[in-house]
Structure 1
Amino acid sequence: MSNYQGTPPIEKKEKRSVYVNLFGHKSAATDYLILTNKHNQNMTFTCLNDKNSFYHGLSDEILPEFTESLKRKGNRIYFLTKNISERSLNVENIIQDIFRIRMPKQSTLTILIPDILLVNLSQQRLGNLLEQLKQDATARNITIAVWLYGSLATSLKPALMTYSHLLAGLATLTAVSPNKYQYHIAFWANRQGVRADETCLMNREAAGEFIVLPSSKAASTSRIKTDAAQSHIVLSKEALNDREQPTEPLKLMPSNQAALNESEYPGSTTLILGCDSPGMIRQLAIDCYRFRQKNGPQPNLIIRETRQCLRYSDEAFLLKAGVNLIVPHHLPFARLMSQAEAIQHQVLVRSLPEDIEALLSFDLRYENRGYLENQAFSQYCHQVMQRSTPSQLRFALVKLSLLPGMTADECLRLCHLRRNGDVVTACHDALYVLFSAIRQTDIHTALNNIFDFPVRDLFRNVRIIHSHHDTEQELKTIVEQAVCVSASAEHISMEAHQVSERSAARPEVVSLFAVSKPIQLQGES
């Protein structure tokens, strides 16, 4: 950790140099701009996105402060025109246009770029772009600050590291919890020297100021020594399914609580705990967090799902609490013990939340489910994107293009969303489904589970959108092409849609598809 105390890490920049900052979300970039602009009043700000798209989704608290920050004395502000289509966007050509702007010498040019514009560039094109920036910074005697923002921005870090000879600095700002950021300097060169591999935590106060939090002390080496002779496994009976009788030499405890409350364990102990209902998850995470705080990083914690009850977001929440491994319900006991043996003597290196309140901020509760009208759907998508950054949960916006002759109402009647956080809205030519927390490999399975018919038969095309920039662009279309749907279609999309309920009597509805019907032949009565 760095030696920053109290004041934010605003690194000085040199003229004729290029510096790159990576931001996990647009809000992190706006927060950092507000912070740095207080120290820089001779800046040309350019954004490779149109103004309305960039401002859309910013919170009501941040937007006025961000706008006022841009308007400081000496600043020049440029956004991309709306007339440029997504397909014609070429980052190299836009950078060349930017350098047609007259800029005073010894000023700073800040270029804010959505991650999607660079993610798909080849290594050679990326290198050519950075070389062009370096040449222009030298020729104009200015400082160029390139800010990349979006969910894919940090994935560019390895590629950028290979061009360190063209860059004077590379740093990353990512959200670790609401109003808290981790700032990591890969390298940064100026007249004071070169800094590398430094990290600090910053907290955004209610007044908008950033305070650097003191670094936590590293665990003592004596605490993380491993001793093979002391390694053993503790198993809670709540982690056993019916008729399972462990034959291996284990320490069997009557419950999860009893296993976690044991006064002392050898450093290399592995605890296997059970979970069989969603109601257990929150308290189990709190207990694991307290155990981890008390016993340090060396003991291993395994959660075994004895019944299918853990969602993707629940697993991420338990991992934040200090759990090493989560075992799904279908894995047999013998494989469970193999997994336990495999992680013996491993040491947890993930950082833990500061306190229980910070931990519970990762227990994301999704209240919306079913149909949302288009404007509300757009606002909810922005909230999900912002919440997904610190929790590192993946989301997916799915565009389902309608077949000719089908209407949004008809398709909504066949849609039944069961999980909180899964919402749908309708446009003239498509339905849009948002999965607030989902693995990318599970998207097609989830789609087929929420419709009465296979998705490939019901829709003309399926497009999966998961990057922040592409999602924001699509949300504009969703609002512009809003369509009204009937109240009955809205209600159907929110039904539990369980098989047992289907057997009950229900009013007759018009069939949307052909059904088999015997043909009466001539002469038959």
Structure 2
Amino acid sequence: MYWLACDTAEDAAMVCRQVVNAMAEDAKAAFISDARGMREVLDALDPDLGPGEMALYEADRQAALHLAEDLSRIEASGRLVLAFLPAAVWEGGDIGQWCHEVRDRVRDTGAVLLVVSEGQSVWLVEQLRAHNQNLDGMAQLYRGQGGMRYLLHFWSNALGVVGTEDVELTHDAGGFALAGRPHSLGRTGGDELLCLAQRKVLEGAPAFSEHWQLFDSVSELGVRAGVAVSATVIFAMEGGQRLDILAQQLHTLRQLRGNALKLVVREMAPTLRYQDEQLLLACGASLIVPFGASLSRFLTQVDSIQGYAWRRRLPSDFEALLTRLRPLPVCGLVAPRVFAEAVQQMWQGRRNGEIVHQLLVLRPAPGLSPLQACSRSLFRRDGDIACIANGVLYLFLFACRAEGVEQALDYIFQLSWRELFIGQELLDDLGALEAPAFLDETVPESPSVESASMPLSQVRPALNPRRISLQQWEAA
């Protein structure tokens, strides 16, 4: 009994198709899934590949929870049973007991069961790891660290046991494959205890031991780090310092010296934003210590990464990476076509798992048009853009985490956005931008501030001066 946990339904379906297509012609299989999963997998199978016989069983949540009882009824003997199910099936249940019962029945029937679950679920993975005695293998397929990753927790069969591995994958229409040759993470150069650092990061303190070497300039530090293998190299990030220069230096060191080198950036002034941190991490940084951390806290964090190797994928083209993690020089209210093209270009970094953006749909309150709601808005950052299409406001926030959306809306809208809009929707993909409305190249003109203060039906015409005459009355 094996388990492969996938973050997305799309990746899980591709794995299932790849497993079925790879089976021998004389093999027998059984496929268990709900109606949606059936369509996603079966409709895209190669008719010339796969097993000679495959039984299909449509299962809802309750049926999946009673799989142990049904295995003897579906003639599972000698088959590869492939179960493609949502992770939500096991929420609130005893997954350890479920695995124990199903594994015993799988062994009794002489079958092999591969469960492919879809949907991010930290709870599910942790429970499966805790009940590893009830599984013969467990792995995860996830998007992150700049690409597609396959995290193998353990896997055993008649040939032996494989321990923890984390490898990069590539994928095309045919499925997933290893992305080049895996890099060895066990390479060391005898300098594991060595700390090379800019003198500023120690706040005037002397070197703590003979393992510490301090340098007055970043260029001197870079030269020494260029011959290190697994030492800790610590850079200072100060206000006014060019981020792209530091990022390129990290990228060069990581590219030349490998994954064993530990690259640390200490923020000496509050200068790094979220997108800046993601750039440094993508360029090879092992750790970023934020401004405000005490010296003792900083040293503790440096100690915490000892013995670890950098495990992300390093993009070979630094300029392309810099482009993906930098916003386009556009902000504010734009034409729908400009909006769609700009968002599609800036979305590339999110597809690679390097940075997070937010795409929202905001529906204005009754009596207000989207243009009136925008009249009290102020866009301050490049990459934060909006457009009006299909009677709603589309808003793109560059380099914004989900938990920062409300704060970003507070900054953009000078009036309470909760009163301007009756609802907001976060979009996970760009499918909505393919609508015909986004071919419009008309740039909207924001209305006057006064007209946005009340619904259109209540806007009064401007008052014009009118001459009047006064009469003087004589006192009685």
Q: Same fold (TM over 0.5)?
A: yes
For residue 260 of structure 1, report the CA deviation from its aligned partner. 2.2
Deviation at 1:287, TM superposition (A): 0.6
Q: Letter of the 1:224 partner, please give it.
A: E
What is the correspondence of 1:214-253 to structure 2 with a 5 Å cutoff?
214-220=182-188, 222-225=190-193, 233-235=197-199, 248-249=205-206
Equivalent in the alignment of 1:243: none
Are the counterparts in 1 of residues 236 and 265 from structure 2 also a CA contact under 8 Å? yes
Residue in 1 aligned with 2:142? Answer: 174
What CA deviation, in whole Å up to 9, does each residue of 1:348-403 have, x standing for no partner?
Answer: 724255666166665434558666859x869968994x853653544445454442
Cα drift, residue 315 of structure 1 = 0.5
Letter of the 1:109 partner, please give it.
V
2:151 partner letter: H
Query: Residues 157 and 344 (structure 1 numbering): CA distance in 2 closer, same or farther, change over 3 Å?
Result: closer
* CA offsets 1:454-492 (integer angstroms, 9 cap, x no match): 222222344557xxxxx46xx778989979999444x76
Contact 1:260–1:287, Cα closer than 8 Å, also in 2:
yes
Residue number among 18, 29, 43 corresponding to 2:12 in the alignment: 29
8 A Cα contact 1:399 1:430, kept in partner: yes
Amino acid at match of 1:403: A
Q: Check if 1:349 corresponds to 2:327.
A: no
Q: What is the SS of the residue equivalent to 1:224?
A: coil
Q: What stretches of structure 1 of length at least 5 have no aligned partner?
A: 1-17, 56-62, 81-88, 241-245, 466-470, 493-506
Larger CA Rg, structure 1 vs 2: 2
Task: Show the counterpart of 1:50.
Answer: 36
Match of 1:111 in 2: 83
Q: Is the partner of 1:511 in helix, strand or coil?
A: helix
8 Å CA contact 1:70–1:77 kept in 2: the answer is: no
**Alignment partner, residue 157 of structure 2:** 190
Deviation at 1:301, TM superposition (A): 2.7
| 1:272 partnered with 2:236 | yes
Letter in 1 for 2:350: S
8 Å CA contact 1:48–1:111 kept in 2: the answer is no
CA distance in 1, matches of 2:343, 2:123: 26
Provide the C-alpha distance between the structure 2 equivalents of 1:164 and 1:353, rounded to a whole number of angstroms.
26
Q: What is the correspondence of 1:364-443 to structure 2 with a 5 Å cutoff?
A: 364-365=324-325, 366-367=327-328, 384=347, 387-388=349-350, 390-391=352-353, 393-415=355-377, 417-419=379-381, 421-422=383-384, 424=386, 431-435=393-397, 437-443=399-405
Mean Cα deviation higher: 386-395 or 185-194: 386-395
Same amino acid, percent of matched pairs: 16
* Residue 210 of structure 2: aligned partner: none
CA distance in 2, matches of 1:91, 1:371: 45
Which moved further from structure 2: 435-444 or 46-55?
46-55
Alignment length, in residue pairs?
445
One-letter amino acid of the structure 2 residue matched with residue 183 of structure 1? Y
Q: Deviations for 1:186-208, whole angstroms, at most 9, x for unmatched residues?
A: 22233334433244444558987
1:174 match: secondary structure: strand
1:276–1:307 CA contact under 8 A, matched in 2: no
> Does the CA contact (< 8 Å) of 1:235 and 1:259 recur in 2?
no
Deviations along 1:237-277, whole A, 9 cap, x unmatched?
xx99xxxxx65448986653344234789956643243636
- Secondary structure of 1:220's match? coil
Matched residue type, 2:249: D
Which residue does the alignment assign to 1:145? 114
Q: Does 1:512 align with 2:474?
A: no
Q: Give the Cα–Cα distance (whole angstroms) in 2 for the partners of residues 215 and 53 of structure 1.
A: 38
Task: Tell whether 2:61 aligns with 1:91.
Answer: yes
Name the TM-score, length of structure 1 as normaliser: 0.63
Distance 1:90 1:34, change over 3 A: closer
Q: Would the alpha carbon gap of residues 97 and 409 (structure 1) be closer, same or farther in structure 2, given more than 3 Å must change?
A: farther
What is the SS of the residue equivalent to 1:323? Answer: coil
Q: 1:111-133 deviations in whole A, cap 9, x for unaligned?
A: 33445x358x1253x45654675
Indicate how the Cα distance of structure 1 residues 50 and 482 shifts in structure 2: closer, same or farther if over 3 A, else same: farther
Q: Corresponding residue for 2:129?
A: 161
